[in-house]
Amino acid sequence: MISCIVPVYNNEDTILHVLNTLLSCTKIDEVIAVDDCSRDRSASLIASLAPEVRLIRNPSNLGKGGAVVEGLRLSRGETILTCDADLSRLNTQHLEVLIQEYQTRLYDMVIAGREKGQGWGGLMSKVSGERIFQKRVILPYLDLISAQGNGIEQIINYAHKGKNIKIIIAQDIGHVLKFQKTGVFGSIPAYAKEVYQLLHTEVILQKTSFARRYKISFD
């Protein structure tokens, strides 16, 4: 059973498109949208798709990682598909290719990257929000995921260290950027917070890896 979890925060312009696309994919058995205290119409738009989409409303803003964890705790499937809520051109084929690749059983996780190549493009493909994996692999990391917000994809990657991972490129998936929603100056605090969380997560994971390698306990 595949459960899809969609973290949502002020995505009224794209959320119906994303959820309807997920519902049109027959390979997905459960769709859970977690509204993280949106200030726009996101929650009411999600509610309009009930009961096909299960709406979870966080009482306080938990960040992306915390929202995904809330959805994961209530999901029924052992296979988890995560999907961002700000995709403007997501289509059923994007989802089917991702799921089909995973169902070959050759990989422990498949990521639908939006970028190609090396350098920045290669880095960004590794932290794409569209990915499919087994729930049990990340269960030991739920507290860390909740605490790190935008570092969730890095932590999921770390949880799969040593396992078989494949990155495919989701062509023309469309992504509404922060500055397109709030303007250049309005988006600066959000970008700064995201960069900080990504860097902070990397430090924590490096520390965790070092501790495991040399059997050191950091309290």
* Alpha-carbon separation of residue 13 from 60, 86, 100, 148 (angstroms): 22, 8, 29, 26
Q: Are 83 and 130 in contact (CB under 8 A)?
A: yes
How close are the terminal C-alpha atoms of the chain, in Å? 38
**171 confidence band (pLDDT: 50, 70, 90):** confident
% of the chain exceeding 90 in pLDDT: 68
Give the whole-angstrom CA distance, residue 219 versus residue 217: 6
Angle at 152 (CA atoms; ends 150, 156), nearest 5 degrees:
160
Longest dimension (CA), the chain: 52
* Matching residue, tokens 């991972």: 165
* Domain range annotation of the chain: 2-214
| Residue 25, C-beta contacts closer than 8 angstroms, at least 6 positions apart | 92, 95, 96, 99
| Residue 24, C-beta contacts closer than 8 angstroms, at least 6 positions apart | 92
What pLDDT, on the 0 to 100 scale, is given for residue 81?
A: 98
**157 confidence band (pLDDT: 50, 70, 90):** very high
Give 2-214's CATH code, choosing from 3.40.50.11900, 3.40.50.300, 3.40.50.1820, 3.90.550.10: 3.90.550.10
SS3 (DSSP) at 31? strand
